[in-house]
């Protein structure tokens, strides 16, 4: 086992439900962890220099391209060095936090983490996505079909043409029930969803370690 790479993208700090469930996973994890908190220290969004440096010989790079390459090399090395992944990605306005998208754009590079003849180098490594959301998005819920977090991440993180990780998902729901009076009757459902997410996080931590 090398290490667990934990990427946090919530802006709420300790009040984040996604982070709280992730902590249940961390409490049961036995081994080294590399933790990158994008909410506290975001990585740069991908720039023109960041895109063009990938196809520019190192000796010909501009200072901006060299700086962009250094950022990408650090993040890619951190990603590829992990044996398992924990992603804390709450739903913000039906999609992923922009800081997480920025991180993805920095590490997803054809010929480095994806698009290789033998497949992505991290293929098959276990990954858990924890994504709290204010409402309910399952079948029969009013918001069903409006979740643009999990389908996106299952493709970006898990498809064989992208990063190829073995992705599991936990979605503690109805967090707004605790703060919005018109949703107060849904508090028991929220509490049940949260309790189940904590329990499943602990079980997955054990399962990931057993598989490594």
Residue pLDDT, tens place only, 118-128: 999 999 999 99
Using 50 as the pLDDT threshold, list the residues of the chain that sit under it: none
Residues in CB range of 76: below 8 A, 6 or more apart: 106, 107, 109, 112, 113
Query: Residues in the chain, how many?
Result: 212
Question: Residues 16, 38: contact at Cβ < 8 Å?
Answer: no
pLDDT of residue 184: 95
| Helices 187-211, 17-28: inter-axial angle, 10-degree rounding | 30
69 vs 54: CA distance, rounded Å: 7
pLDDT of residue 99: 98
pLDDT at 1: 61
Look at residue 12 in the predicted model and tell me its pLDDT.
92
**Beta-carbon neighbour count of residue 118 at 10 Å?**
6
For 1-17, how does the pLDDT look when each residue is reduced to its tens digit (9 = 90+)?
A: 699 999 999 999 889 99
**Distance from CA of residue 205 to its chain's centroid?**
16
- pLDDT at residue 212, rounded to an integer: 87
Pairwise CA distance, residues 91 & 170, whole Å: 12
**Pair 14, 191: CB distance under 8 Å:** no
CATH of 4-211, one of 2.40.160.20, 1.10.10.10, 3.50.40.10, 3.40.50.360: 3.40.50.360
- For the chain, which residues make up each domain, given as ranges? 4-211
* First-residue to last-residue Cα distance in the chain: 6
Q: Are 167 and 155 in contact (CB under 8 A)?
A: no
CA–CA gap between residue 99 and residue 87 (Å, rounded): 12
């Amino acid at each position: 086992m090398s290490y667990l790479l934990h990427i946090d993208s919530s802006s709420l700090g300790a009040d984040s439900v996604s982070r709280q469930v992730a902590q249940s996973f961390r409490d049961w994890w036995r081994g080294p962890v590399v933790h990158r908190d994008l909410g506290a220290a975001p990585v740069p969004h991908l720039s023109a220099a960041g895109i063009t440096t990938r196809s520019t010989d190192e000796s010909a790079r501009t200072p901006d391209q060299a700086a962009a390459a250094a950022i990408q090399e650090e993040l890619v090395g951190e990603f590829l060095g992990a044996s398992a992944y924990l992603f804390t990605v709450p739903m913000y306005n039906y999609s992923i936090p922009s800081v997480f998208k920025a991180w993805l754009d920095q590490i997803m590079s054809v010929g480095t983490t994806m698009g290789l003849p033998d497949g992505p180098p991290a293929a098959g490594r276990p990954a858990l996505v924890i994504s709290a959301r204010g409402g309910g998005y399952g079948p029969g819920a009013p918001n069903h079909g409006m979740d643009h977090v999990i389908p996106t991440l299952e493709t970006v993180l898990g498809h064989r043409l992208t990063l190829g990780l073995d992705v599991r998902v936990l979605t503690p729901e109805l967090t707004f029930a605790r703060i919005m009076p018109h949703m107060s009757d849904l508090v028991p459902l929220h509490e049940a969803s949260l309790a189940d997410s904590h329990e499943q996080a602990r079980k997955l931590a054990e399962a990931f370690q057993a598989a490594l």
